Every structure is written in C-alpha cells, then in structure tokens.
A and B are shown apart, each in its own frame.
Chain A
Amino acid sequence: MRFYNNLTISQKQIVWAWIFLALPVLFYVVIRFYPTANAFVLSFQEWNLLGDRKYVGLENYAKLFSDPVFWKVFKNTFMYLILGTPVSLVLSFIIAYHLDKVRFMHGTIRALYFLPFMTSAVAMAWVWRWFYQPVPIGVFNNFLASFGISQIEFLSSTTNALPSVLACAVWAGLGFQVIIFMAGLRAIPQSYYEAARIDGVSTWTVLTEITIPLLKPTIVFLVVFSSIGFLRIFDQVFNMTTNNPGGPLNSTKPLVLLIYDTAFNGFNMGYAAAQTVVLFTILLVVSLIQLRLLKDS
C-alpha cells in the first residue's frame, strides 16, 4: 500500500489500467489469438484427432483446390452473397424509404418488419422448411394449388434449393437493415430537402442526387455487414436440409457447412482448418474490396 501511495498519478493510472485489463488480455490471447494461430498451423498438418499431428506442408490446400466439391461449395457461398446482398439491400431500402414518409401506425409497421430479426434462425428455418414442402403439406404449394398453379419443387430441386434457403435468411435479416436505413435517412438534414423543393427538383432527382449519396456510409456498413453474414451462412442451410446436409447434391452447401462436415463428421482436422483459412481469406478480401470500391466512388 505504501508503495502504491508513493506512485505519481500517471503511474497509478498505469497500475489500474493493467488491473482492469489483466484478465481480458489473457482472454483475448488464449481464446482468440492462440486459436487463430492454431488454425493456421493445423491447416499445414494432417490429423484425425487420434494419432499424431503430422506436417504435410501445403497438401491440404492442394487437395482442397483440386476437389470439385470444394469448388461447388465455393460457388454456392458466393451465390448466397451475390443474390442475398443486393436483394436484401434493395428491398430494405425501398421499405425504409417509404416507411420514413408514413406517419400513421409508423411504429407498428416498423415492428412488423423488425420482428423476424428477433427470432431464432434455427426455429425459423424449420418453419420455412415446412412452407416449402410439396402438397398437401407445404404452405406455399398448398397456396399455389388453391389457385390451380402447378407445384414448385423448392428444397428438393438442385436449382431452387439455394434461393429457397436464401429467402429465409434474407427474410430474417431484412428488419435490421430497414432499421439501419431509417436511421440513416433521419440523419440527412431536412434543409437539403427543403432547398430541393424550393428549386422544384423532382422526387426521383432528390432520391438519386441527395438521398442515396448522403446515405453512403449507411450503405457501406450494410453491404459489408450483410455480405459477411451471407458468406458465413450455416444455420438455415443445416436445418433446412438435415436429412442430407447441404443437399440435394451439395447444391446448397456453403463453406461453413463443408468445414463442419470435414471437422466433425470426417474428423479431418487439418483439412478442415485449411478450409477455415480459405473462409477467413474470402471474408477479408471481400470486405476490403467492398470498403475500397464503396469509399472511393
């Protein structure tokens, strides 16, 4: 105590800072940095959890890049991104733009759109899975049948399954994007709109020349945020295709599901770690490219 009392104020601050940070720093080193390093190291090894870890150099990566299933999965992962991000962004912008101009029951409508965000992805994947069943079970096909429209194969078709799974993910995330867009719209100063109105500018010009350019920070945030979400899609795919995860014929399988399969069904830890390194690289590159493109233009 006497030692502590002899310290200067700034020295005391240093002592306190490290008292505050000791446990957290330990946590970040042990639970975040060490495992990250471990994943990289493991990606150069072969290990089935039982024997010894054996260095194999780049063999895991070579195997991965020559595996047609990986390329299928790679394509799927990007399909989720390429379809999901623009669709959810455009939809949520349209909703937010109009909702912003509506006063009557504003809070209620906003809550309706936001509600799905509060649900559990697993629970809702099962609900959507039921919706997609063929007649007489599935809601969508029953609904179509009542209008005399022929059946659509949703989850059992190799072409429709991925968009079907994606629809559920877009639906769940839409409310969050709407809320963020509305906050962005509210942050645009009213004086801009008033000036435009005095100048007699058309609504469309106001939208493209004022609203959208001023929303750029919001758009950048949402593009990066939702892209990362779609690239990491797992819960919906896993639960909508539990009888054949990632099926039919790997047509819905994203990278995270491949990782899960390789590691926890195949116990091929090194190979799975190499896949996680690829995922990490994809996420990093995609976010950097988007930040670059969207910030510059």
Chain B
Amino acid sequence: MASQDIAVKPSTDALFSGSSRNSRRNMGQFIRWALLFGGGILMIMPIVFMVSTSLKFPFEVYNLNLIPEEPTIENYTYVLEDGRFYRWFVNSLVISIITTASAVFFDALVGYALCKFKFPGRYLVFIAILSTLMIPTEMLVIPWYLMSKSFGWLDTYWGIMFPGVMTAFGTFLMKQFFETVPDDFLEAARIDGLNEFQIWWQVAMPLVRPALAALAIFVFLGNWTAFIWPLIVTNSVEMYTLPVGLSSFGDEVDVAWELIMTGAAISTLPTLVVFLIFQRFIIRGVVMAGLKG
C-alpha cells in the first residue's frame, strides 16, 4: 500500500534539461498540470459556494462573489437558534459513533473467527455472510420497518442503528487482513496461557490496526451520510439525523438558500475537516478497503 513512495516516472524525470524536445515536453507537462489543477478547483466549487453563501446576507446570495462583501455568521446563529440542528448533529454523532464501534468490533470478531478457527460449518457461515452483500438495503427497508413497528423500535436510536451494527463488507475485509497475521504468533500466545478472546483482542487486533481504521472511516462516513433508512424509521423531528433534518429543513425554508447552505455546511463540514486533517491516511484507507473488499 506504499502508494506514495514509488519512483518518479521516466516521462517526467528530465524536467529541467534544456533541449527543445525537453522544453516542449515541459510545456506539455505544465498544461497537464494546469488542466488537472483547474479541474480540481472546479470539483470543489460546490463546496466553496456552499460555505461562502452560508456566510452571506440574503441580499448578497445572488451575487456570484466567492468572498462575501459583508461576511456574517447570522445564518449560523439563526439556524442553530431553535436547537433542531444541534439536536440532529448530536443524533448523527451518537448514532455514527456507536454503529462504527459496533461494526468494527463485530466485523473483526467474525472475520477473525472465520479466518483462524477450524470448525465444521466455517465455509457455510462465510458464504452465508458474503451472500448478504447481494441483497440491497432497499429490499430490506420494508421488512425492517415492519419489524421496528412491532418491536417498538420506530423513532428510537436503536431503530436507526440496528441494521448497521454488523456489516458483511467489513467482515470480508477483516477476514482478508487476518490472513496476513501469522498463526505462529497466535500459537505462541496460546502457549503463554492466553484464552482465545485475549489472543484475538491483545495479539491479533493490534496487528491489523490500519485495516480497523480504514473500516472505521468507511462505516462512519456511511452512517453519517445515511439517508433512506433514517428517513423511514424516524418520524419525530427530535429523532432526525442530520441528512433527514436537512432535507425537511430545506423544504420548510424553501427559497432561503443562504439558510439551506448553512444547514448543508453544518452537516458536511465535520467530515471534510476530518478528511483534511487525516488526508493521506484516509485516502490510503479507502484504497485499502476498496481494493480488498
């Protein structure tokens, strides 16, 4: 996974030599860079516009200036005033953290058991779990809704969380990574008198920490942005998650785009800030999860 450290490609290593052929190549290389950079700037324009508009007074919204003439945080105070966004933020945070912790714990547990224990039915359990990847969430939402209705889970945190407390994707990913842990390590720990749970938790888990982190990022992001199931299972405003809340808020304020942009910024900036801090690490994690999973 050392994607950063690969040597410079042959086509670019002669950047500063003087022949005309090379200067043409440099020119080409510069155009390539400029186009890519320009494209990258275009890619983040929606995010830039969102933030910039959230800092504008209503009269300035229709102005395409990226930097507000009179920056204001009034939209934020207005949006946060009645406490709904605050509540939705907390809901999303609690739900995402608990679900992520649970999914990482159980996916690693199951991945490890399927990888390191020999027992009858191992293959069957593995195939059964893997086969659930073929079932789209949208097929399950109706039965989940009926189930939640009869157990009284509608409009509760547990109702929002229960479908995601374990994931087949994560199980498969962790199983792949536990393959890289040598059995000798586990055997040594066994001789030292650790029980199997301790061996998993104290010996094997620290060795797959990068994979655990990659999985955690995926699961957290998935839960933070999840929309359809929270939309279905919640019906009181206090139980909405950020995406569901934002969706209803957008409808409510209709054309007050500066307020909608503020709400959008509140629900998306936290993940962007986390990304900017752990950029390299997150990209590596996404590649790892994407390719192995």
Q: How far is the CB of B131 from chain A (nearest CB, A)?
A: 9
**Is A20 part of the contact surface with B, judged by Cβ < 8 Å?**
yes
How far, in whole Å, are A35 and B49 apart by their CA atoms in the complex?
42
Contact A193 B10 (CB under 8 A): yes
Question: Contact residues of A with B, CB < 8 Å?
Answer: 10, 12-14, 16-21, 23-25, 27-28, 31-36, 38-39, 42, 95, 98-105, 107-124, 126-128, 130-131, 133, 136-137, 139, 142-143, 146, 171, 174-176, 179-180, 182-183, 186, 190, 193-194, 197, 221, 228, 232, 234-235, 238-239, 242-243, 256, 259-260, 263-264, 269, 272-273, 276-277, 279-280, 283-284, 287
What count of chain B residues pass the 8 Å CB interface test?
Answer: 99
Contact A179 B135 (CB under 8 A): no
Known: A24-B110, A99-B36. A36 touches B140 (CB 8 A): yes
**Is B179 part of the contact surface with A, judged by Cβ < 8 Å?**
no
Residues of chain B contacted by A103 (CB below 8 angstroms):
8, 12
Contact A139 B43 (CB under 8 A): no
Known: A139-B49, A232-B136. A101 touches B44 (CB 8 A): no
Task: Report which of B9, B49, B232 forms a contact with A127, defined as CB distance below 8 A.
Answer: B49
**Is B47 part of the contact surface with A, judged by Cβ < 8 Å?**
yes
Question: Contact residues of B with A, CB < 8 Å?
Answer: 3, 6-12, 29, 32-33, 35-37, 39-41, 43-44, 46-47, 49-50, 53, 61-62, 64, 106, 109-110, 112-113, 117-120, 122, 125, 128-129, 132, 134-147, 162-163, 165-166, 168, 171, 196-197, 200, 221, 224-225, 227-228, 232, 242-244, 246-247, 250-251, 255, 257, 260-261, 263-265, 267-268, 271-272, 274-276, 279-280, 282-283, 286-287, 290-291
Residues of chain B contacted by A20 (CB below 8 angstroms):
109-110, 112-113, 117, 196-197, 200
Contact A174 B43 (CB under 8 A): yes
Residues of chain A contacted by B135 (CB below 8 angstroms):
32, 36, 280
Contact A243 B132 (CB under 8 A): no
Residues of chain B contacted by A95 (CB below 8 angstroms):
36, 39
How far, in whole Å, are A57 and B136 apart by their CA atoms in the complex?
24
> Can you offer 26 A-B residue contacts whose CB atoms are under 8 A?
A12-B196, A13-B117, A20-B113, A21-B113, A36-B143, A98-B35, A101-B12, A105-B33, A113-B40, A114-B283, A115-B275, A116-B43, A117-B286, A118-B282, A120-B224, A120-B264, A124-B264, A126-B250, A126-B260, A176-B290, A183-B287, A186-B6, A234-B227, A272-B142, A277-B139, A280-B134
Q: How far is the CB of A72 from chain B (nearest CB, A)?
A: 18
Contact A98 B36 (CB under 8 A): yes
Task: Report which of B43, B145, B282 forms a contact with A263, defined as CB distance below 8 A.
Answer: B145
Contact A122 B36 (CB under 8 A): no
Residues of chain A contacted by B166 (CB below 8 angstroms):
24, 27-28
Residues of chain A contacted by B110 (CB below 8 angstroms):
20-21, 24
How far, in whole Å, are A280 and B138 apart by their CA atoms in the complex?
9
Contact A121 B227 (CB under 8 A): yes
Task: Report which of A21, A175, A183, A280 forms a contact with B125, defined as CB distance below 8 A.
Answer: A21
Task: Report which of B37, B232, B257 forms a contact with A109, defined as CB distance below 8 A.
Answer: B37
Q: How far is the CB of B64 from chain A (nearest CB, A)?
A: 6
Task: Report which of A25, A28, A107 forms a contact with B279, defined as CB distance below 8 A.
Answer: A107
How far, in whole Å, are A19 and B200 apart by their CA atoms in the complex?
13
Known: A17-B122, A21-B125, A260-B228. A98 touches B146 (CB 8 A): no
Task: Report which of B47, B251, B257, B280 forms a contact with A116, defined as CB distance below 8 A.
Answer: B47
How far, in whole Å, are A98 and B12 apart by their CA atoms in the complex?
12
How far, in whole Å, are A34 and B146 apart by their CA atoms in the complex?
12
Contact A98 B32 (CB under 8 A): yes
Residues of chain A contacted by B119 (CB below 8 angstroms):
13-14, 17-18
How far, in whole Å, are A95 and B265 apart by their CA atoms in the complex?
27
